[in-house]
Amino acid sequence: MRKRFAFAIVIFLAVLVFAAGQSQPSPASLHPPVTIEQVNRWETELSNWGRWGKDDERGALNLVTPQKQVAAARLVKDGVTVSLAHFADLEKAVDNFNFGPTKHEMFHDPATGKVRGALDIISFGIHDGTNSHLDALCHYALRRDGRALVFNGHPQDLDEAGCKANGIDRMGPGIFTRGILVDMPLLKGVPYLEPGTPIYASDLEAWEKFAGVKIASGDALLIRTGRWARRAKLGPWNAAREAAGLDASVMPWIKQRDIVLLGGDGVNDVQPSGVVGVGDAAGRPVHTLAIAVLGVSLVDNAYLEDAAREASARKRWEFLMTVQFTRIPGGTASSFNALATF
């Protein structure tokens, strides 16, 4: 009798496990791939064009109000500051020297050929794969009736002098606001995310619960994937083509939260993007929608390891973030000269 009862219990539990497995949605059904047609619709549905006037060239930075800045200043409790920047590597690797080599040279006296004083010369590609940089709103464009238009409908007119509209010099002196670090490896219990790992809106909301924060209007959102930790352990790889990052499906959520800056330690977009179909925005949909549609500046290659360490030690992932723009006339970006102060 007991054997029959035990056998019946085993069969019952097996049926429950099988039924549960059948009823659980698969990852594919939870996060179906975004199509290029959906991305194209979002180019209109999520648009901030005209929101701050037809002549605006600052985009979402308009959301950093005086009140937001005062509130951000109050986040400083310990007076501990870390850099959020990584400068372009001088040594050539598979993930850098994308747009010309990085060079550091001392100034030489033309007469003697010797180093003269404490003077040096530096040159680098600002969009280099290892250089932290903040994209100007002229960096990505949309195609409309055969024309390339940048944020707010300005023509993407480029020449040797740079961008005629939405250049970095037209975006103000910099940023002073609340920064929020999203540490995805910490949330998932791994040292770093593997290249190609997508991050969804549900992940960002899970982080909010974990960290006890609410991402809100005027915030700068920085997402750590652990790119630099992985590079330190395994060496460089082509992070422009294989990278953990945001899935395109996150963009309506980004619009809803009204953030002013979106940054990552890679290229922000998960690579490959996973977008189904062929189109201008298929490869980097997060870049296209954030910069050209929402007017949200993107930061690529931010260095978030030190901020992650300090935030984890305090169990506090919000801080004062300050950024000074290198106001290059017509510039397509600024070096990300950013600090996090706890």
CB 216 within 8 A of CB 246: no
Q: Which amino acid is at 204?
A: L
Residue 232: pLDDT above 80? Answer: yes
Count CB neighbours of 8 within 10 A: 10
Strand 133-135 and strand 333-335: pairing? Answer: antiparallel
Compute the 3-state secondary structure of the chain and give helix, strand, coil in percent, each to the nearest 5: 30, 25, 45
In a domain, 194, yes or no: yes
Candidates 250, 277, 272, 271; CA nearest to 36 is 277
In a domain, 152, yes or no: yes
Candidates 323, 62, 341, 321; CA nearest to 178 is 321
Which of 130, 152, 186 terminates a domain? The answer is 130
Looking at the structure of the chain, the number of domains it has is 2
Claim to verify: residue 63 and residue 208 sit in the same structural domain: yes
Candidates 311, 33, 19, 54; CA nearest to 179 is 311
CB 342 within 8 A of CB 78: yes
Claim to verify: residue 255 and residue 312 sit in the same structural domain: yes
What mean pLDDT do residues 62-77 have? 98
Claim to verify: residue 336 and residue 277 sit in the same structural domain: yes
Claim to verify: residue 230 and residue 107 sit in the same structural domain: no
Claim to verify: residue 171 and residue 294 sit in the same structural domain: yes
Mean per-residue pLDDT over the chain, rounded: 92
Claim to verify: residue 154 and residue 110 sit in the same structural domain: no
Claim: this prediction has a pTM higher than 0.95: no
In a domain, 283, yes or no: yes
Task: Give the pLDDT confidence of 140-195 residue by residue, as tens digits.
Answer: 999 998 899 999 999 998 889 899 999 999 999 999 999 999 999 999 999 999 99
Claim to verify: residue 93 and residue 193 sit in the same structural domain: no
Residue 55: pLDDT above 90? Answer: yes
Distance of CA 254 to CAs 2, 130, 247, Å? 58, 25, 11
Candidates 169, 132, 142; CA nearest to 299 is 132
DSSP H helical ranges for 178-250: 184-188, 201-211, 227-234
pLDDT at position 7, please? Answer: 45
CB 264 within 8 A of CB 225: yes
The Cα 229–Cα 246 span in angstroms is 18
Claim to verify: residue 162 and residue 298 sit in the same structural domain: yes
In the chain, the percentage of residues whose pLDDT exceeds 90 is: 85
Claim to verify: residue 124 and residue 235 sit in the same structural domain: no
In a domain, 151, yes or no: yes
Claim to verify: residue 283 and residue 330 sit in the same structural domain: yes
> What's 160's domain CATH number?
3.50.30
Claim to verify: residue 184 and residue 320 sit in the same structural domain: yes
Question: At 13, is the pLDDT very low, low, confident or very high (cuts 50, 70, 90)?
Answer: very low
Claim to verify: residue 318 and residue 178 sit in the same structural domain: yes
Classify residue 40 as exposed, middle or buried by CB count within 10 Å of its CB (0-12, 13-18, 19+): middle
Q: Which amino acid is at 268?
A: N
In a domain, 20, yes or no: no
What mean pLDDT do residues 113-131 have? 91
Q: What letter would DSSP give residue 250? A: G
Q: Which domain holds residue 185?
A: 30-86+132-341
The Cα 8–Cα 243 span in angstroms is 49
In a domain, 15, yes or no: no
In a domain, 14, yes or no: no
Q: What is the DSSP string of 144-175?
A: ETTEEE-GGG-B--EETTEESSS-GGGS-SEE
Check whether the bond before 185 is cis (ω within 30° of 0).
no
In a domain, 65, yes or no: yes
